[in-house]
A = this chain, B = another copy of it.
Amino acid sequence: MAKKQKVQRPKAQTPKGFRDYFGAEVAQRTEMLRVIAGVYHRYGFEALESAAVETVEALGKFLPDVDRPNEGVFAWQEEDEKGSGDWLALRYDLTAPLARVFAQHRNDLPTPYRRYAMGPVWRNEKPGPGRFRQFYQCDADTVGSGSVAADAEICAMLADTLEAVGIERGDYVVRINNRKVLNGVLEVMGLSDEAQRADVLRTIDKFDKVGEAGVRELLGKGRLDASGAYIDGVGLSSAQAEPVIAFLTSKAEDTAGTLDNLAAAVGDSATGAEGVAELRSMADLLEAGGYGPDRIVIDPSVVRGLGYYTGPVFEAELTFEITDDKGRPRSFGSVAGGGRYDDLVKRFTGQEVPATGVSIGVDRLLAALHMKGRLSTDTTGPVVVTVMDRDRMADYQGIVSELRQAGIRSEVYLGNPKNFGNQLKYADQRGSPIAIIQGADEVAKGTLQIKDLILGAKLAETATHEEWKERPSQFEIPRTDLVARIRQLLDEQGQ
């Protein structure tokens, strides 16, 4: 006889950096996206769903924060008759596909084209704790309008969206800045070196953390940070750094004051003045729509990393406090961001097509809602009809059909019914509020036993042995009262 070969079993494992989402996690995200889509629709935006797969050529290299952009995507080469074909890749965001869609369908789409899109995107990056290689984005963009009214509209919609999903007014702020103002500041500083400009932008981004004095140090010789490490400075003289400081500290009591300070900070730069004028227009439009600085505010410290932004940039921050890993209080932080990018469609068509949009970090926003207790936690399991007698499955099926037709979430226990304890353990694991029991005695009497599992769990924690033995959490009802009594008990339980 031949030797038996050892069976090689596949590993049951998600690939590195991917995860599974179960039950309430999925339902809560779906519900949140439904609410967001409702707001976007009300604003006149149309849904768009493009495929997960694009040609590498169409996607381009716009991945943020990646030094080697080719390595940021999952890509493979098509095999066709001739051997090898196009390189394909999974999309890494929803903006690059939008640019492709608009260029491809521009003759059939209205201009301006307001669209929203929601779905997973993929990044071929080193996974880390809480950092996954597939995650959701939820975007809205207006393509084909150069008007800052389009940017203002996106900001207003972002505020409305946050309130619609359950972030209260006062718990968020949409902060607006303008790349042209930043460029104006760099211009009056006489900085033309790209690397040095990037260093200054990175420093500005740290203003929230290190404050004015810290930024002064970082723009100059450098700075000893909290951990004791020395951070090299940009190497500017104190005079050279002054416009940046003026810019960063330009936030005043009111919008008019901030705009005046910004105008001063950009000096005689035409680009800077254009940026300030755009911010002024946006503030006016938002004010007219009823969106005051309690919700949307001009804030010079907003930078946004992506290189493709060309005008207004914005960011939604949740301002309520949470406790960080080390137990220190800090504000929750950014959940959405975006801005104007006028060159993405041009890649395809050669013609300039202005565009602006926002992307919501779906998982961050869900986490925030979770912390605020604003997620509808319908995690109640089904009513479980237990199986006392394997031969009477049809009767149990009849019970559960009646409940389901009455809209009550319910099921028959479908495991091996031999051990009744396992059935109750299953109901417990499912978070079931009620178990229904019908043995031969109950059949003879035309009744059912109802077990209130929620009361039962409470009793198990607090009741004395005597109370427990009385089992007041279990009672008998006429079979004919099934739907009415179950509904009543669910109501009492607050389900």
Contacts and interface: CB of A to CB of B under 8 A. Distances in A.
Interface in A120-165: 120, 122, 133-134, 142, 144-145, 147, 149-150, 152-153, 156, 160
A411 B43 contact: yes
Given A14-B50, A289-B397, A412 B348 contact: no
B415 A53 contact: no
A51 B145 contact: no
A34 interface: yes
Contact of A153 (B30, B42, B153, B414): B414
Contact of A53 (B9, B74, B349): B74
Contacts of A429: 110
Interface in A264-316: 281, 284-285, 287-290
A379 to B, nearest CB: 10
Interface of A: 7, 9-16, 18-27, 30, 34, 37, 41-44, 46-55, 57-58, 60, 71, 74-76, 78-79, 86, 88, 90, 100-101, 103-105, 110-112, 114, 120, 122, 133-134, 142, 144-145, 147, 149-150, 152-153, 156, 160, 281, 284-285, 287-290, 347-350, 381-382, 393-395, 397-398, 400-401, 404-405, 407-412, 414-415, 426, 429-430
B401 A55 contact: no
A330 to B, nearest CB: 30
Contacts of A142: 414
Nearest to A291: B401
A157 B170 CA distance: 45
A34 B404 CA distance: 17
The 7 closest A-B pairs by CB, nearest first: A44-B411, A12-B103, A26-B47, A44-B382, A288-B394, A289-B401, A76-B76
How many copies of this chain?
A: 2
Contacts of A160: 404
A20 B34 contact: no
Given A12-B349, A26-B49, A285-B394, 5 more contacts: A16-B78, A53-B74, A153-B414, A285-B397, A288-B395
A125 to B, nearest CB: 12
A397 B348 contact: no
A52 B52 contact: yes
The interface centre, meaning the residue of A78, A88, A110 with most chain B CB atoms within 10 A of its CB, is A110
A348 B75 CA distance: 28
Contacts of A409: 41-44
A350 B88 CA distance: 36
A50 B397 contact: no
A354 to B, nearest CB: 10
Contacts of A26: 47-49
A101 B22 CA distance: 10
27 contacts: A7-B350, A9-B350, A10-B57, A12-B58, A12-B100, A13-B55, A15-B51, A15-B54, A16-B78, A21-B50, A24-B47, A25-B47, A25-B49, A26-B49, A42-B410, A43-B411, A44-B381, A44-B410, A44-B430, A149-B412, A150-B414, A153-B397, A284-B394, A285-B394, A287-B394, A288-B397, A288-B398
Nearest to A27: B47
Contacts of A43: 382, 404, 409, 411
The interface centre, meaning the residue of A12, A101, A111, A393 with most chain B CB atoms within 10 A of its CB, is A12
B51 A23 contact: no
Given A52-B120, A285-B394, A401-B290, A10 B88 contact: no
A393 B134 CA distance: 40
Contacts of A401: 156, 288-290
Contacts of A134: 51-53
B15 A55 contact: yes
Contact of A415 (B30, B76, B144, B153): B144
A430 B110 contact: yes
Nearest to A77: B76
Contacts of A53: 15, 18, 74, 122, 133-134
